[in-house]
Every structure is written in C-alpha cells, then in structure tokens.
Amino acid sequence: MLDGCPVARSAVAHPASDDHGAPARRAGWHGICRLLPVGMVSLLVVGGCGPRDPRPWQPASRTVVWPAPPAPPRVRYEGSITSGQALRFASTTGSRLLDLLVGRPRMHLGAPHGLAASATLIAVADSGTGAVHVLELAKRRYRVLASVGDVPLGCPVGLAAGGQGDLFVADAALARVFHLATTGQLLGEVREKFIRPTGVVYDAPRQRLHIVDSGAHALLTFRHEQGGWTLARRLGGRGEEEGLFNFPTHAAVDRDGSLYVADSLNHRIQRFDAEGRLLGSFGQAGDGTGDFAKAKGVAVDSEGHVYVADSLYDVVQIFDRDGRFLLSFGGSGREHESLWLPTGIFIDEEDRIYVADTGNARVQVYQYLRESR
C-alpha cells in the first residue's frame, strides 16, 4: 500500500511514563548513580548518567546547507531524532542500562510517518511499531501511545496537533481517526466510514479538521459542533482530471486556509481555497526538476513556500504558491543529512522542518533560513 501499512495488524501496548511521582523518580535515578559501585558508576556516566541533552535531536556534526555556497543558504540541516537521542533527551539518566534497572521503556522508531510539532511537543506516528511517540519538551517526558482504551493501534500514519496540546491520529488499518490527549486519553473520535485514512491536518483558526482518505480518493473536511465532528465537505473521487484524486496521501493548510493535497499517483499537488474551490495544480510524473515519482508529505512554511517529500527520489522539493520550483534538499543515503524513503513532513511556527526519514528509522530536522531584508 502507499502508506506502507498492512490491511490489518495488531500491536502490543508499550508501558507509558508514570504521570505520578515523576520528580521523585528522577531524584531516585540520580540516587542510584550515587549508590552503585564505582566501576558501575563509571560505566553509567559514559552511557549518560550526566547532563541531559538540551534538544531532542542529535546536532549536526558539520554545517550542511542548500543551495551550496556561494549561493545564499536557504535551508540548513539541524540534526536527527533517533531512538537513542530521543530517549537521552527525555530520560534523566540517558543510560539504557539504568533505564532497564528502573523499568523505563526504550524508545524504538520503526517506520516514522506522520509528524506534528509545537512549542510544547513533538509527536511521531510510527506505522512500524503501531504506536504514536510523544515527546513533551518542557517536561522532558516520553510516552508511547500504542492503544486507545482496549483497542490496539493498527497502523497509525496520519497525525495532527490540535489547539490544546491534543492530537488527531489517523489509523489506516483500523480505518478510524481518534482525538487523543498526549497522555493517550480518548477525547473523541471522528465518526465517519473511512476506507483508509492517511493524512490529517487541523486548521486551528477556522476550527476545521481535514482528513485525506486514500482508499476513497477523497479529502474530507469536518467542523466541530455539539461536542463532535460533523462532515462539512467532501472533495475528490477517483480520476485524473483536476479536482479528482488517485490515492492521495497527505495534505497541508496555508495561513489563508488554502489546502494543498498530495495527489500521489497522479504525481501532482492540488491546491484548493478555504471553501474547497480548486485553484490549480502543479507537478507531473518524471525525473526532472519539479517532477514527482511518489509525492507524499506536504507542508507550508511561514512565507507560503510549499514543501513536498518524494519517497522515491529521497528529496524534499520547495515550490512557491503557484508551483514554480525553487529548491530541493536531502538526497538518497544513510548520511546524517540524507533521506531514505521520506514520507511525512511538518513545519512548525519557527520554520523548523521535520521530515519522517522512514527508511532510516529517524526524523530529520532542518531549518528554513529567511532571506535577509
């Protein structure tokens, strides 16, 4: 499938961080370091029984920018969020051994897909482990949400942050979209007969929830009323004409409410205004600049540039609102700044770019550099 999910799968619930007594437990971990034999303490210090990393991503070891000098840089590689780095950030010990001693869960990114980020959290929908990973930045707390109540997540791929630190999770295998607190508490569910929901985007100023149903070749828009989400509009249907889709996967919303939809197997991005009127499209199948092989994630920065992750070309391409190609970054590989089968992409309020580097089981972090004026 386009989203990389099986038709059905099961997931085992992972232990979550304790909401009660976390400060005492942190103090206890440092106490363990003091009580252990000197040799063991030395081992743990090497593993990280010292200061925690100040950020959830491993900083780049060298400066990498696009375009290459002498042109003015517009995108800079910041680092990567890996299983180990996220746990070092979220844990007071930073030591896998000590985490095991005190029963801390080990973070494991299998196939990161959907992304959401804000000033308070970074969340990753992981179709490989059947879970949503949540890093609460201020609390330095890490949680794994692997079930909703008694229902194990099957293949979470779509993810969006709500306006109150909440999350919307689209599970392609379960054909359901959940509204969750970052603790995993169920706040609600979007009641609709989805076929294969894959992309979710929340338009906070207009309080609209947009869901891409890849199996239905449709973009559905919901509004919140009477304590639930009501279907307000349905766009698409299968076809090659503009306004129709062929297995769309992701969507993004601009500040004016415009919607960009990755029409993956039509090899294009379609743009609609806030009321659902078609404004145009750009892209085609090919291997040239601005062409697509398998467009997946789409995002928009603060200046209205459109970013498209192509999972076969292993790059992110940047366009202006009218679809004119501006720049690409990434490139195939396992190196620090490279990508391998990228899928989801998200840009936060500081124009920090998060890319789900699915084939490398990590999240790559870049920074858009605004032009000096």
Task: Output the pTM of the full model.
Answer: 0.85
Higher-confidence residue of 99 and 42: namely: 99
CA 65/CA 242 separation, integer angstroms: 35
Cα dihedral 188, 192, 193, 199 sign: negative
Q: Which residue has the tokens 């890319």?
A: 355
Question: pLDDT-derived band of residue 39, with 50, 70 and 90 as boundaries?
Answer: very low
In this prediction, residue 251 has a pLDDT band, given cuts at 50, 70 and 90, of very high
Percent of residues, the chain, with pLDDT higher than 90: 70
- Give pLDDT tens digits for 55-107: 788 899 999 999 999 999 999 999 999 877 766 677 534 444 555 565 555 56
The one-letter amino acid code at 8 reads A
What whole-number distance in Å separates Cα of residue 193 and Cα of residue 283?
A: 31
Q: What is the mean pLDDT of residues 187-192?
A: 96
Locus of tokens 């909401």: 19
40: alpha, beta or left? (left if phi > 0; alpha if psi -120 to 50): alpha
Task: Look at the chain and count its residues.
Answer: 373
Phi, psi of 87 (to 5 degrees): -70, -35
Q: Which residues of 165-197 are buried (b: 16+ CB within 10 A; e: fewer)?
A: ebbbbbbbbbbbbbbbebebeeeebbebebebb
Q: Which of 366, 358, 351, 308 is nearest to 317 (CA)?
A: 308
pLDDT tens-digit readout, 333-342: 998 999 999 9
DSSP 229-292: EEEEEEEE-BSSSTT-BSS---EEE-TTS-EEEEEGGGTEEEEE-TTS-EEEEE--BSSSTT-B
In whole angstroms, what is the distance from residue 6 CA to residue 174 CA? 10
Q: Measured between alpha carbons, how far is 187 from 179 in angstroms, rounded to an integer? A: 5
pLDDT score of 41 more than 70: no
- Mean pLDDT for the chain? 85
